[in-house]
Structure 1
Amino acid sequence: MRVIIFGASGMVGQGVLRACLLDDSVTDVLLVVRRPMNMTHPKVREVVHADFADFSAIQSELQGLNACFYCLGVSAAGHKEADYTRITYDYTLAAARAVGTDNPTLTFAYVSGEGTDSTENGRAMWARIKGRTENALLATDLHAYMFRPGYIQPRHGAVSRTASYRALYRLTSWLYPVLHRLAPRHTTTTEHVGRAMLAVVERKGEGPRILTSADINQLGSP
């Protein structure tokens, strides 16, 4: 299986990349990055690309893919709606169009979030835009799956790129077992997300298309 990952340098993306490297069914992993990650692994190849609104310059690299794991995203905090829309909606749909051009049966797994507003009419800006993005992806011909995790615990060295999140995880990581026991339907880990993304590829567009933390944990369990 040949996969492509967007956002591999982020916390979730690191977990997904690790899952791909450990899975024998994955033969090739293409990373689309703005800055080189300088990974050395026989499965991995990096393509450095600056404009995430237009992938036409690297279209020739996006052939023969079986799955796209889209983990790119930012917190809505500190972003105006236009900027958040550009990063969350425009970039995601540009990637979906690019990877789907030569791979019509590709599985597209998108990291959304718990509380996403499918009606696109709610008060929370981030939830509306995430909902709009999900709806647009589900309307494509791709085998699209929306991942809606709640709290995600980083595992195996995965680190958030957001300083405030890194500090939060350092302070609260020891509490995760308690949190998971209290709210198992709203908590998951980067390890479970990675394994679950690989699992949905086998569904080939069948089954539920919107996955909660509970679904992710079930699919991503060893």
Structure 2
Amino acid sequence: MATESRVALVAGATGLVGREVLAILLADERYCRVHALTRRPLDFSHPKLEAHVVDFARLPKLPLVDEVFIALGTTIKVAGSQEAFRAVDYDAVVAVARAGIASKATKLGAVSALGAHPKSSVFYSRVKGEAELALELCGYPSLVLARPAMLAGDREALGQPGRSGERIGLALTRALRPLIPSNYQSIDARDVAAALVKAVQKARPGVWRLESGEMQGAAPRR
């Protein structure tokens, strides 16, 4: 694709990974337009950015795009119930993916989770696995699924509620990092975003999974 001709769509641009994906795409000269689907308004603007506040249960017709990035996600505690969790992590994810196909997108990059499997006995992992399977059936020539372990990032700066279990888990994994296999170490949201964008840009036809260990350190460090 020619320089400055790509158009991308990002769903979940107010979250840890989605915010980083959006920043990468806006800074990349190969993209002339980036559409962001969010549940609340963004607190910044950019010449290439077109923000859309939407109801993910009733998406409007979307503009034509080349690539779709989905970084939607919540927790059962934040959502309030298993049904509400599934509405975000399965229903909204699949709805955006299908809308992307209708908008002529040929590449999809989505954030899933470590351990995702449609037959998992763990509800969270099962929903993530079911979403992965549904995305495979959407018909994208190229699909990249990022499967990070516990995400590290500043949620409070995004106005998101704190997650006490996550804070404890992050502290524990950092302390024991040398003893933990790379796939199970906590990972910076910037690394997930950088690895996902790069993989989508280079993806050949097929379904590709990025495990957490191979995404570690993907983002440049200042």
TM-score by length of 2: 0.81
> Deviation of residue 208 (structure 1)?
5.8
> Deviation of residue 38 (structure 1)?
3.5
Q: Percent identity?
A: 25
Q: Do structure 1's residue 72 and structure 2's residue 77 form an aligned pair?
A: no
**SS of match in other structure, 2:76:** coil
| Aligned-partner Cα distance in 2 for 1:158–1:198 | 23
User: Compared with structure 1, are the counterparts of its residues 13 and 199 closer, same or farther at alpha carbon in structure 2 (3 Å cutoff)?
Assistant: same
2:3 aligned residue: none
> Deviation of residue 33 (structure 1)?
1.7
1:200 aligned residue: 199
> Deviation of residue 221 (structure 1)?
4.8
Task: Flag structure 1 segments of 5+ consecutive residues without an equivalent.
Answer: none
Q: Do structure 1's residue 212 and structure 2's residue 211 form an aligned pair?
A: yes
Which of these residues, 42, 48, 53, is aligned with residue 47 of structure 2? Answer: 42
Which amino acid in 1 is paired with 2:113? G
TM-score by length of 1: 0.81
State how many pairs are aligned: 210
User: Compared with structure 1, are the counterparts of its residues 26 and 154 closer, same or farther at alpha carbon in structure 2 (3 Å cutoff)?
Assistant: farther
Written as runs of structure 1 = structure 2, the 5 A alignment for 1:66-105 is: 66-77=66-77, 79-105=80-106
1:122 aligned residue: 120
**SS of match in other structure, 2:120:** coil
Is the contact made by 1:3 and 1:66 (CA closer than 8 Å) also made in structure 2?
A: yes
Which amino acid in 2 is paired with 1:100? I
| Aligned-partner Cα distance in 2 for 1:160–1:191 | 18
Q: Do structure 1's residue 151 and structure 2's residue 150 form an aligned pair?
A: yes
2:26 aligned residue: 21
| Aligned-partner Cα distance in 2 for 1:149–1:165 | 19
User: Compared with structure 1, are the counterparts of its residues 160 and 196 closer, same or farther at alpha carbon in structure 2 (3 Å cutoff)?
Assistant: farther
